[in-house]
Structure 1
């Protein structure tokens, strides 16, 4: 079987718990499923169900207590911290609910920031960041600071930053959660375009049923267990 036909992400028997003093709080319980290459997957569930924890494990931000996660043939659960950080920088694009932009940097500088790890010249970083901002419709806002941008515009900057390294995987944690309805729809349109036109694999955590409708497939978590996988 060629790599193109294999699932991009394989998750097997994943478990995660957190300690609160002497108490152990289980978060994920024996999670196993695949994510296809080029898929737009939605993760839903009530607050505290483990959605963000699962997203963080897939993105290599956190480590499982047991189980395996393979992304594009690499078992990321076996990587040491340094190797995992380098893998994450090159292969995962992050989109957060509250944008996580640096307030003292312009839109262009925020987007170019991940490229510092790639050894590119300042001019090359700026050229790529300019192209990414143009792709998300912000060619005329490159020199603006986050405080000078609307919430929807800030999220577009965050998306440009997420795609600047041409990542294998884009993970989005409540990307429309802090936006008004129209801005949220615009962001979902943009994610859909990245998926359809650039073939980006996207995993999106959301509590919004309207946002979830954009996904190809939904997985539901409840108390750390996958409960529903419609055909």
Structure 2
């Protein structure tokens, strides 16, 4: 089964289980839905509902037990580890709750890290990293280390790192979960700008209803099963 060119991500009867104590534990059951290119989707649900597991499957960090995951027309569930690593490097940008920055590297050096897997030379890598930091409003903080930055600034560095390879898909796991309300609002403004101005497809896991309201649509996960799509009338999809 294939997806249309307008579909960024298509999940077809996806399931995921783990073995614990000799028993299979089902985390996701028959997940089947599409995410349109240029959309901004929020995934919500209680802890343990499978949100982060689903995000990791879409991003190619983990593999499903069954089903197809088509991203940009590629069934990533069939790729071996080496091909999957290459695919992730060129197609997906990751944003995490706790930033995942290297404390011994400057902001510029942290953003440059994903480019180490490319054929760019050192000067080109630095130029790309500097441009990404300018895009997130940190042109004056490039040489600062993470412990010299606020939480909101660290998350901006993490977003620049996600952007630096120019991926079509950005996955964000609780990107505002460790921030105060003001900083969280600024990060959501930035994500909205990346979606509407750059056309990035964004999938965001969040517990925060205020954050979810910034998305075009919301899906809820409950005990590994997905709810019907909720359209946010206050958000206008960039592809509309």
TM-score of the alignment, normalized to the shorter chain, above 0.5: yes
Partner of 1:123: 123
**TM value normalised by structure 2:** 0.94
Q: 1:227 Cα shift?
A: 2.0
User: Gaps spanning 5+ residues in structure 2: where?
Assistant: 232-240
Partner of 2:184: helix, strand, or coil?
helix
Q: CA deviation at 1:230?
A: 2.4
Deviations 1:108-151 (A, max 9, x none): 00001100111211111111111110110000000000010000
Distance 1:144 1:105 in 2: 9
Q: Is the 8 A contact 1:111 1:157 kept in 2?
A: yes
Query: Which residue pairs with 2:230 in the alignment?
Result: 230
The 3 A distance-change label for structure 1 pair 156 and 67 is: same
1:31–1:225 Cα contact (<8 Å) kept: yes
> Counterparts of 1:24-103 in structure 2 under 5 Å?
24-103=24-103
Residue equivalent to 1:201: 201
CA contact (8 A) 1:9 1:69 kept: yes
Deviation at 1:229, TM superposition (A): 1.6
- Separation in 2, partners of 1:162, 1:118: 14
> Residues of 1 paired with 2:36 and 2:21: CA distance?
39
Pairwise CA distance, 1:25: 1.3
Contact 1:4 1:37 survives alignment (8 Å): no
TM superposition shift of 1:21: 1.7
Unaligned runs of 5+ in 1: none
Report the 3-state secondary structure (helix = DSSP H, G, I; strand = E; otherwise coil) of the residue aligned with 1:228: coil
Cα distance change on mapping 1:99 and 1:12 into 2, 3 Å: same
Question: Could you report, residue by residue, the CA deviation over 1:45-81 in whole angstroms, capped at 9, with x for unpaired residues?
Answer: 0110000000000000000000000011111011111
Q: How many residues align?
A: 229
RMSD of equivalent CA atoms: 1.1
- In 2: Cα distance, 1:52 partner to 1:155 partner: 18
Q: CA–CA distance in 1 between the matches of 2:187 and 2:201?
A: 16
C-alpha separation in 1, matches of 2:22 and 2:43: 30
